[in-house]
Chain A
Amino acid sequence: MSTWEYAPAPESRDIANLRPSYRPFIGGEFVDGSGEPLKTINPATEEVLAEVGTASVSDVDTAVKAARRAYERTWRTMPGAERAKYLFRIARLIQERSRELAVLETLDNGKPIKESRDADVPTAAAHFFYHAGWADKLGYAGYGPDPKPLGVAGQVIPWNFPLLMLAWKIAPALATGNTVVLKPAETTPLSALVFAEICQQAGLPPGVVNIVPGAGDIGAALVDHPGVDKVAFTGSTEVGKQIQRAVAGTPKKLTLELGGKAANVVFDDAPLDQAVEGIVNGIFYNQGHVCCAGSRLLAQESVVDELLEKLRHRVSTLRLGDPLDKNTDIGAVNSAEQLARIRDLAETGDAEGAQRWTSPCPVPERGFFFPPTVFSGVEQSMRIAREEIFGPVLSVLTFRTPDEAVAKANNTPYGLSAGIWTEKGSRILWAASKLRAGVVWANTFNRFDPAAPFGGYQESGFGREGGRTGLEAYLDV
């Protein structure tokens, strides 16, 4: 029997142009933050990548004031067509520096280079291109003839898609005439600081974009700052609730994009091979660190055996390892903390009587890795069916009838996304209207486009990002 081992095909880490230290970006300049510097590590090797200066509470104040000045003096009064030029410039610069950004993102986050190269960075550029187009057409967005910006936006983003979440936040804010203070995640600050460089390169007026690295306390200081008119947060439901309490009773506008426990519903008339692809893409994309991940597979009982057999074969072909290798499908979990959380939750699956199947792929000794895992025999009452694991762990449940499928899919406090797999068009429309989820994919999963609004129901948050609808979050309407 022949064997074919793919030779290593690593992207060079030199392309990331790593520097020993990075600093906060406030008022158009890189400044020494007065917070305690943090060290950011490569989760695939556990080595330190760089030291990053962090902002203190007083730096946050400086940043908000800089943003306010930029808002009052230049950005709010600038014609939309002029703002658009800056956004187009930023979009093109992201494209020009795409390899550098992709490698940097992979080093800092642990995601496979294939994904940062083919999804994160190009989609980030696409968000700037898309919103650049809106900047001079806001009067036609359906929010009145001359909708006004809100002012200074305080934005806090997660570690799972550092650059892409930044683009989702900054592009619509700038297009609508707001200025921004953004706090990247503690474990993944690097691409945001290279983005700050891109803002300088694009000649963006000082203070329009400010980046303040730091831990949760800096995020809280930003959210609480009285000079902030708008708060946008993507992250955990727990922190989202704290933020909602913090802004209650203030005039701040708030949008939250929080957790999820999405159901991927496979009916017996589904295109099975493509459903398998969609399931794999739904839960193993980005190591499962996706708020809209299809972490619950709901399969009709009449096809579940065939589906699981195909799924296990497919999952066995996933290649786990060095995220910089172009053939790696599953990279490293972002932090030791997250890895521990995934392990703990997976153990509750064993304890509650679900059957664990793990891909036979080899797992590197160093770095934070968790092999693709499928739990079958999962019941609605189990923790792995209810709690967001945020890792490469799929829970397989079954249903008998379409009504039961919808009832089980909706039986969660979350409501971010859902997937429907069937060749029957009428069933797609029926299920999509019944599923309580902000995004419903039919015969596909985890597809993103700047023109498509994204957001949740219930404890998955509120407000939309992307599309015409997404502009509303940054306009005084």
Chain B
Amino acid sequence: MATATLPVALADATRDDASLRRFLHGLPGVDQVGVEQRAAGLGTRSIKKAAKLWAIDTAISMVDLTTLEGADTHGKVRALCAKARRPDPDRPDTPPVAAVCVYPDLAATAVEALAGTGIAVASVATAFPSGRSSREVKLADVRLAVTSGAAEVDMVIDRGAFLEGRYGQVFEEIQAVKAACGDAHLKVILETGELATYDNVRRASWLALLAGGDFIKTSTGKVSPAATLPVTHVMLQAVRDWYTATGELRGVKPAGGIRTTKDAIRYLVAVHEVAGEQWLTPTLFRFGASSLLNDLLLQRRTQLDGHYSGPDYLAVD
């Protein structure tokens, strides 16, 4: 696991609960006005023509196509998988999405539907979305996902413990989940809407990175606000700082509330200019979204055809 090779300063940070608290509280603060101003400023970048088409294709290949409803059925998941494989059947050159994201009891269905496509199955776990259960139940949830064949696990952190300042507990839990994941990639959902401050987002990001999370993810999509640009800025800055400190590349996934191509491009600009060019790949950046995909497809058609198409030409799922 990653923590074995950490530089001394970072390895020391996780020695015990008190060190962890000192480390997290010693991180530089985040100025709210400043980060929001920067995010708004970068949001005015004008992405046109070839740059836009590249951004649309890249965004499509970064989508974790998601369904997380109580009403999800095998049929619904299979429909979503079909969409993931060929997002726009009229335009076979459209790239497939990165992954399909479902609840663990439906992971097996998705794995079967996506066999041989190279599209990953991501499963939420750890008593998603609230994370309010015992460690045993959470780990059992992870095992269900992994044994069903999920290649990626999206866990939630215990926000209650985090807000109470029991960072050690949150840290251990992420480590335990990481161990239970085996080869599966671990995305750690911080649920930034419940952490409320940017300082907390930065601390939770570092906590998750220290504990071995492969990705840090903003939200479950069940809490408002979900992903926002300034929160994503703070998280992108964290993975960049992590890279500077350790030489390791970790990923970021904003999820929830990103519905339009315009929004997606703003996120990609932030990835490009805050984290850096290396992060412009599905292995290091994902969008957790459902309705975003159709807007990307619509805008892709517009770019290629030179005129607007209509939503009726795309599959609703």
- A positions within 8 Å CB-CB of B: 1-9, 114, 118, 269-274, 277-278, 309, 317, 326-327, 423, 443-444
Contacts and interface: CB of A to CB of B under 8 A. Distances in A.
Contact of A444 (B34, B58, B278): B34
Interface in B4-55: 28-31, 33-35, 37-38, 44-52, 54-55
Contact of B49 (A1, A7, A444): A7
A274 B38 contact: yes
A135 B250 CA distance: 58
Nearest to A117: B44
Contacts of A1: 277-278
B30 A114 contact: no
Contacts of A309: 244
B272 interface: yes
A6 B45 contact: yes
B72 interface: no
Nearest to B234: A273
B51 A4 contact: yes
A6 B48 CA distance: 7
B44 A326 contact: yes
B49 A4 contact: no
B303 to A, nearest CB: 12
Given A1-B278, A326-B44, A423-B29, A6 B51 contact: yes
17 contacts: A1-B278, A2-B277, A4-B51, A5-B51, A6-B46, A6-B48, A6-B51, A7-B48, A7-B52, A8-B48, A9-B47, A270-B28, A271-B34, A273-B30, A274-B35, A274-B38, A443-B31
Among A6, A278, A444, the most chain B Cβ lie within 10 Å of the Cβ of: A6
Contact of B45 (A271, A273, A274, A327): A327
Nearest to B38: A277
> Looking at chain A's contact residues, is the secondary structure mostly helix, strand, loop, or mixed?
loop
Nearest to B33: A444
Contact of A327 (B28, B34, B46): B46
Contacts of A317: 273
A357 B217 CA distance: 36
A9 B45 CA distance: 9
A9 to B, nearest CB: 4
A274 B55 contact: no
Contacts of B280: 2, 4
A322 to B, nearest CB: 13
Nearest to A329: B41
Interface in B192-225: none
A271 B37 contact: no
B48 A9 contact: yes
Contact of A273 (B28, B47, B52): B28
Given A7-B51, A326-B44, A273 B33 contact: no
A185 B228 CA distance: 43
Contacts of A444: 33-34, 37
Contact of A271 (B29, B46, B55): B29
Contacts of B46: 6, 9, 326-327
Contact of B277 (A3, A270, A274): A3
A271 B198 CA distance: 11
B309 interface: no
A98 to B, nearest CB: 15
Contacts of B51: 4-7
Among B46, B54, B58, B273, the most chain A Cβ lie within 10 Å of the Cβ of: B46
Given A5-B50, A277-B37, 9 more contacts: A4-B54, A8-B48, A9-B46, A9-B47, A269-B28, A270-B29, A272-B28, A273-B34, A444-B33
B249 to A, nearest CB: 12
B28 A4 contact: no
A443 B277 contact: no
B274 to A, nearest CB: 9
A443 B35 CA distance: 11
B281 interface: yes
B54 A118 contact: no
B130 interface: no
Contacts of B37: 277, 444
B237 interface: yes
Contacts of B278: 1
B34 A274 contact: yes
B35 to A, nearest CB: 6
A270 to B, nearest CB: 7
B295 to A, nearest CB: 20
Nearest to A272: B28
